[in-house]
Structure 1
Amino acid sequence: MTQPHPDTLTISVNCAVVTISDTRSLETDKSGQLIQQLLVAENHIVRAYAIVKDEPAQIQQEIELLAKTANLDVVLCNGGTGIAPRDTTYDAIEKLLEKTLPGFGELFRFLSYQEIGSRAMASRAVAGVYQNKLIFSLPGSSNAVRLGMEKLILPEIRHLVSQMRK
């Protein structure tokens, strides 16, 4: 698919990766590792990485801490976006966002629908801006992470960050 205004930017984006899970560890966090690998492959910089329990206060505390990091542009979260009782990521992040990017969630669910069918409606993937940082929240499955990163985030991350820096 062609872009209406092809990106000629070659900037490296400073990123943080946050996995939200009650069960994952550094050794078992395949989705967090995948996000980092995909970022590095596109010459972006991973400045921080954390695993946080699916507790709203802990999620918000981590995002607030990262938002204060001067050399950070984007926070990429994964996990906790469903509707199970322990899935609180969307609720915690959505309350912090100063601006939302509704198209991100809409497009993510559309692309997911093409892969997994109607179950895609249960995803509460969300993106927006908090304290001049882009925040993306993806489901925790590696397939969902790959889809969101390759089809939505990586193609637009440089453009979105350049817009934030204006």
Structure 2
Amino acid sequence: MPSAIRIVTVTVSDTRTEDTDESGKILRERLESAGFGVAGHRIVRDEPDVIVELVRGFASEPPMDAVILTGGTGIAPRDRTYEALESLFDKRLDGFGEAFRRLSWDAIGPRAILSRATSGVVGRTVVFSLPGSTNAVRLGVDALIAPTLEHAVALASGKGGHHHHGAK
């Protein structure tokens, strides 16, 4: 039975269509194989205003628990997803991008520093942004997002608490 977490996925691309969106398909498949249901998927152009409006909409009432994006995280002139999301975050989760680049280093070496994978919280919605390559999506979901998503959503929604080990 899929997790009750409400997730929407987004492919950010100026060129991909439903038929050519391999990263979006893999993103949904990897989340579903990890036990999560995906409520919907969108493909949007890498236009900051469009991304901000879309994510803000998913984070409003009733909010999605998580929005996971793929694409737009590089340093090419058209890659503006990072700037759009950074302007929205109420809280940044710096450890996600750091961990993603660390794991990417093992796969692609120094080119990993060119990734601007990022994560944060908008209202009570957790947002993850991955590069657009299929390998990056697999790595990000399998190694980082799937193992932490339930806990992150619980904390962001105010339903999870910090566990104090050893306290009596």
TM-score (normalised: structure 2) = 0.90
In 2, the alpha carbon distance for the partners of 1:65 and 1:158 equals: 21
Give the secondary structure class of the aligned counterpart of 1:120: helix
Give the secondary structure class of the aligned counterpart of 1:85: coil
State the Cα RMSD in Å: 1.3
C-alpha distance after superposition, 1:62-91 (max 9, x if no partner): 111111252520000010100000000000
Which of 18, 21, 25 aligns to 1:33? It is 25
Determine if the alignment matches structure 1 residue 17 to structure 2 residue 9.
yes
Equivalent residue runs for 1:15-164 within 5 Å: 15-70=7-62, 72-164=64-156
Counterpart contact for 1:127–1:137, Cα < 8 Å: yes
C-alpha distance after superposition, 1:9-29 (max 9, x if no partner): x94321000100000001111
Give 1:43 shift. Answer: 2.4
92-101 vs 60-69, greater mean Cα deviation: 60-69
Specify the code of the residue in structure 1 equivalent to 2:37: I
1:7 counterpart residue number: none
In 1, the alpha carbon distance for the partners of 2:115 and 2:32 equals: 26
* Structure 1 stretches of at least 4 aligned residues deviating more than 2 Å after TM superposition: none
Give 1:162 shift. Answer: 1.6
After superposition, the Cα gap between the structure-2 partners of 1:18 and 1:45, relative to the gap in structure 1 and judged at 3 Å, is: same
Structure 2 unaligned residues grouped into runs of 5+: 160-168
In 2, the alpha carbon distance for the partners of 1:164 and 1:130 equals: 9
Over the matched positions of the two proteins, sequence identity in percent amounts to 46
Structure 1 unaligned residues grouped into runs of 5+: 1-9
Counterpart contact for 1:97–1:128, Cα < 8 Å: yes
In 2, the alpha carbon distance for the partners of 1:89 and 1:13 equals: 24
In 2, the alpha carbon distance for the partners of 1:11 and 1:49 equals: 17
In 1, the alpha carbon distance for the partners of 2:4 and 2:33 equals: 11
Counterpart contact for 1:74–1:134, Cα < 8 Å: yes
In 2, the alpha carbon distance for the partners of 1:56 and 1:160 equals: 25
In 2, the alpha carbon distance for the partners of 1:86 and 1:34 equals: 23
Counterpart contact for 1:12–1:43, Cα < 8 Å: no
Give the secondary structure class of the aligned counterpart of 2:20: coil
Specify the code of the residue in structure 2 equivalent to 1:132: R
110-119 vs 34-43, greater mean Cα deviation: 34-43
TM-score (normalised: structure 1) = 0.91
Give 1:130 shift. Answer: 0.2
C-alpha distance after superposition, 1:107-154 (max 9, x if no partner): 000000111000000000000100110000000000000000000000
Specify the code of the residue in structure 1 equivalent to 2:137: V
